[in-house]
Amino acid sequence: MKVPFPDLGILKRLTPRTLFARSLLIVILPTILLQIVATYIFYERHWNNVARRLAQGVSGEIAGIISLTDRFPGEDAQSSILSIARTQMQLTITFEKEGRLSISAGQQGSYGFLERHMARALQQSLPGRAFTLKTNDLLESVIIRVQLPNDILQVIVRDKRLFSSTTYIFVMWMVGISLALLAVAVLFLRNQMRPIKQLSDAAERFGKGQEVEDFKSTGAQEIRLASSAFHEMKHRISRQITQRTEMLAGVSHDLRTPLTRMKLQLAMMEEGDAKQNLTGDVDDMRHMVEGYLAFAKGQEAETVETVNIVNLVNEIVDNALRQGTTIAFTAPDPIDTRLRPNSVKRCLTNLVENARRYATEIRIQMSLTENQILILIDDNGPGIPREMRVDVFKPFRRLDTSRNSETGGSGLGMTIARDVMHSHGGHIRLAESPSGGLRVELFFPH
């Protein structure tokens, strides 16, 4: 039999998202539960017992007074009894001559906590007698009226006789200690969250390709270990990028020397099919070497600067217009953001150049949201099939089936664009353009 579990979706939505709020909730919830349990136990045992015994004491005194008035009738006796009740029992007693209560014996109304205890005690001490209980407007005393054979006995009992002040002291101590513990917990949690926030900010900046200096590891031992692991990871990644860039740049540079010699030898050869074929191979190798160098240059470390990205795109658009490209650009007000200007310019130039090769019209749109900058590059070219949009980012991958094979290129333009976006903490995505061609979507963090 399958046991149904309650839907936890609402609970998940109500749960705080931040680590500080969740840690604080872990501290607060047990404290509140402990107070509820302690208050319940106090209410059921201590306060209940104290209130019951105080009510029994007062009801016993009232029963004693009634017994004395029955045994010793007369004005003088009543005056003595009233004096004793006032001075020794702290009760204010009056007699209402020829009075009658309009309720039956032991009838109770909607009583509060203390009144219920007092009513039960009076029922036990004064069996068969009618009485009423009433609390005055200021809750300072309880007025008890008891039906006597010929008169009504009215007793005013101060709240101190029926209520223990230790209740307030207990509650105040619980609330005060809980607030003090909560303040200490918030202070310590803030100190523990500070190094975590520092590590999170450093990881975010490093993910966006910004320079991150080594910072001192603080906080708990686990946080120190995580900070040390982050520093080691950062240094390893930086070394790997530097080594790969230097190796790729060195190999590409060394290949240019034999290519130059081959071009000189081809220049001295007689014209013919063999020379034409070799010349085409040399040109292909030259394009590949230039692609290697462009790729290596894209991996070089560049200082992150605060740049108006709208002006940067405008420069690329102006350059394309000078080359006779039909291109339109729409953007909001100037947007200042931190990035590597040369890398981003190289990325956008490659994308515009690709669109110019295969399309006759290009449209660039830029928009700004709360946390990112979106750049859309649309063209009216043949586009890229959906199943090939992932392969286009692979190095040296040219989709000749969907693009003109005579346009050249080494197949590194999209790879460079993707690496530049990833190094800035953004991403690139291909989609279908409303113009019928390819749409390139660039997402920059802001």
* pLDDT digits 0-9 by tens, 296-323: 655 555 678 889 999 999 999 998 888 8
H helix runs in 74-165, sequence order: 75-87, 113-125, 159-162
The DSSP bridge partners found for residue 158 are 141
Tokens linked to 286: 């030259």
Tell me the C-alpha to C-alpha distance, in Å, between residue 61 and each of 58, 64, 88, 125: 5, 5, 11, 9
Among 103-107, 139-143, 181-185, 367-371, which is the least confidently predicted range? 103-107
Q: What is the CATH number of domain 18-164?
A: 3.30.450
Cα–Cα distance, 147 to 101 (Å, whole number): 6
**Selected residue with higher pLDDT from 29 and 165:** 29
**Opening angle at CA 266, ends 264 and 269, nearest 5:** 120
C-beta neighbour count of 351 within 10 angstroms: 24
DSSP-derived 3-state class of residue 442: strand
Confidence at residue 184, expressed as pLDDT on a 0 to 100 scale: 86
At residue 418, does pLDDT exceed 90?
no
Cα–Cα distance, 186 to 45 (Å, whole number): 34
At residue 147, does pLDDT exceed 70?
yes
Q: Please write the tens of the pLDDT for every residue from 190-239.
A: 888 888 888 888 887 787 667 778 888 887 888 888 888 888 888 888 78
Q: What is the CATH number of domain 302-445?
A: 3.30.565.10
User: In the chain, pLDDT over 90 holds for what percent of residues?
Assistant: 9
Does residue 443 contact residue 426 with C-beta atoms inside 8 Å? yes
Where do you find CATH 3.30.565.10 in the chain? 302-445
pLDDT confidence band for 417 (50 / 70 / 90): confident
Q: Give percent helix, percent strand, percent coil of the chain, each to the nearest 5.
A: 60, 15, 30
User: In the chain, pLDDT over 70 holds for what percent of residues?
Assistant: 81
Where do you find CATH 3.30.450 in the chain? 18-164
Mean pLDDT, residues 119-125: 81
Cα–Cα distance, 128 to 400 (Å, whole number): 108
At residue 439, does pLDDT exceed 80?
yes
Confidence at residue 292, expressed as pLDDT on a 0 to 100 scale: 63
Confidence at residue 296, expressed as pLDDT on a 0 to 100 scale: 60
Task: Tell me the one-letter amino acid at 438.
Answer: L
pLDDT confidence band for 371 (50 / 70 / 90): confident
